[in-house]
Structure formats: structure tokens, C-alpha cells
Amino acid sequence: MGAHGTRPAADGRRGSPLLGPVALFVLLSVLSALFSTDVLRSLGELKGLLTFSLVLLVALLVDDVEDAHLLVDALRLTTLYLVLRGLGDWFLLGHDNVDERLSGGLSIYMTYAGLLMVLSLLLAARALTRSRPAASRVADGVLATGAALLVGLTFTRNAYLGLAAGLVVLVLTARPRLGLAVPPLVVLLVLFLPSGVKQRAASTFDRTDAAARDRLAMWRAGAVIVSERPFFGVGPGRIKELYPLYRQPGFVEPSVGHLHDNVIHVAAETGVPSALAYLALVAAAFSAWPLARDRSRPAVRALARGALAANAALLVAGVFEYNFGDVEVLRLMLVVLALPFAAARGTERASDT
């Protein structure tokens, strides 16, 4: 608050390390559309780039750490709904197997698992950081646990790997000593999870699995596309239509909407420079690491820990799923990654007044 009980005036420093990579990705996507194999079709796909304005909106509208945590409180309500909906679907509707997976009322189980993965890590970070009232931290911890368990019940293997990576980052930044408790917790999970979930997890690295074989075929097809059109790809929105032309031996699905890997899909669709811009965005988000270790600002630290864990989770899950192209997951990703930088900027302005 300012000297007269108002918020400190904005000083024009509304930057974020995410803005540069996002702007570059948007620019390269536009260029890809102009050089597309079907220009009109690709130009029509560019409306989806408006989603990336969320990074700018967070920088402009989130003035301080209180604003940032208020937004996370709203996401906590979203998590509550998704958890309750998932439990109802599992126990009441029989969505408890690979053929009828939990989707939480969303279009597909992949989206549901991706949202729960990010939300569980974001709330777990607040629960493990002494920056909020005890009751709020308990609520965060309970919902984070419920969301993480429901990720398991979705039978979504890329989310299993992503959640594991996020938890490792969270432990490293928040409670390094908890690393000793991870192996026993894994054993308990193995003992008490439904057998179908355990079998699904065990098949993650089975190269004879149909889904695994299909992904390998998709990645080989993506590599062929990149070799032919390395700079601008085939154009936004063109992978689904052109995939049959590039299909490789060993495929399972004759037609697919995406290539089940963030880097490969982006490189094939909009070019290698775009894929590098995506990786630059990931790297920029990891620059929140010092904020996650800053003991002088625990409220910012909680947000940074959640963002780092979510970033790691999305990166690892994105090796096996095109979550960067899942608009619901992408929206949450951009907001969560941008929050710690906006919150830190707000505390810096307050300390200057």
C-alpha cells in the first residue's frame, strides 16, 4: 500500500521474462501461416494465438502478491470442483477403467489429467510454504492430494511422469529433506492404488504397447516433415490433414490430430525456430528458481515453487503428449508460469515506496 492507503502507482515496469519467448513464438507462427501448405486454412488457425495474451494480461493486471494469491484461491475452487466431479464419475458412473476414463466433464481425459497435474502442484507448493494461514494451507494440501490421486485414476501415463517430475522439483525447492520420504510414499502408492492403475503405470515404457508404437510412428513422421520443411513447417492446423501422407510403418491410428510431443509437433507444424521459441519459454519460466529460494518473500516463494513444479511437469508430460496445444491446459500453464514474476514485481514496487 502507498503512503495514503492506496496501492503504489505503476512505474511502467510491467515486464516478464516470458514475454520475449511468447512474442517470438507468436511471430513465427504468423510467418508459418504465410508460408503454409494451405495459407487460408492456417490463417484461420491464428485466432488461437490470442491465448498467449494471458502472459501480458497477468503482467498488466496482477499488481501484487495478494492479487496473485487471490487468483490461486479461485483456482483452488476449480480444483475442488474437478476433484468432486472425478470422484463422482469414478464411484457413481463407473468411469474406472481404461475404456471409460475420468474426464471430469471435459472433452477428454488428457485435458482433465493435465489440469489436475498442474493444479495439484500449484496447491501443494502453497501447502508446503509458510506464507498463508494454517487453515488455508491445510485446504491446499488436502485438495492437492486429492487432485494428485485423481491424476492416477485417469490412467494417463504422460501425466504420471509429469506429476513425478513436478514433485521432484517441488521437493528440491520446498522441502529437500522430504526426499527421504519419497521412496516409502511410492511403496504405499503401489500397495494401495487400484490394480488397473498399477498395470497402466507399468506399461509406460513397454515398447510393444500399441499406444507406444503409435507414438514412435508419429515422431518418425514428424521428423520427415521437419526434414522437408524445417523453417516454417507445414503450417498451423495442417498436421491432421497431412499426417496420412507422412505416416510411417508401425502406425496404429491411420489419422491423428497431433504428434504427441510438444517439440516434435511444434517443429513439424510451424518450424524448428518455433520449437526453439517454445523451449525458450520453458527456460524463461525456470528463471523463477531464485524466487523459489527467496526467504525474504515467502508469499512469492510459494508461487514460484508451484510454477517451477508445474513447468517441469508440463515439460516432461509434453514429451509424450501435445499439452502445449491443449488450450485449457495452455491457459492454465501461461497464468501459473507468469504469476510469480508479477507478484515479485509488486513486492519490489512496494519496497520502493
Q: Mind giving me the DSSP string for 63-100? A: -SHHHHHHHHHHHHHHHHHHHHHHHHHHHTS---SSSS
Q: Give the C-alpha distances (Å, rounded to integers) separating 202 from 185, 199, 207, 318.
A: 17, 5, 12, 19
Q: Is pLDDT at 4 greater than 60 in this prediction?
A: no
Among 165, 106, 166, which residue's Cα sits nearest to residue 305? 166
Is 5 within the bounds of a domain? no
The pLDDT tens digits for 10-68 are 444 567 999 999 999 999 999 999 999 999 999 999 999 999 999 999 999 999 999 99
Is 279 within the bounds of a domain? yes
CA distance 301 to 291: 5
Question: What is the tally of structural domains in the chain?
Answer: 1
The pLDDT tens digits for 164-221 are 999 999 988 987 776 666 666 666 666 666 666 656 666 656 667 888 889 999 999 9
Residue 53, domain extent: 19-352
Is 11 within the bounds of a domain? no
Is 32 within the bounds of a domain? yes
The reported pLDDT for the residue numbered 203 is 62
124-338-130 Cα angle (round to 5): 35
Is 271 within the bounds of a domain? yes
Which of 7-16, 112-121, 338-347: highest mean pLDDT?
Answer: 112-121
Is 149 within the bounds of a domain? yes
CA distance 108 to 59: 31
The reported pLDDT for the residue numbered 211 is 84
Q: Is pLDDT at 251 greater than 50 in this prediction?
A: yes
CA distance 64 to 168: 28
- Which cell numbers hold the place of 106? 471435459
List of residues 6+ apart from 112 with CB closer than 8 A: 82, 86, 102, 103, 104, 106, 154
CA distance 88 to 202: 26
**Residue range 294-299: mean pLDDT, rounded:** 92
Dihedral angle of Cα 94, 160, 52, 223, to the nearest 10 degrees:
-110
Which of 7-16, 260-269, 292-301: highest mean pLDDT?
Answer: 260-269
This prediction's pTM: 0.89
Which amino acid type is present at position 27? L
Q: Is pLDDT at 2 greater than 50 in this prediction?
A: no
Is 3 within the bounds of a domain? no
Is 146 within the bounds of a domain? yes
The reported pLDDT for the residue numbered 131 is 87
3-state helix, strand, coil in the chain (%, to 5): 70, 0, 30
203 vs 247, residue with greater confidence: 247
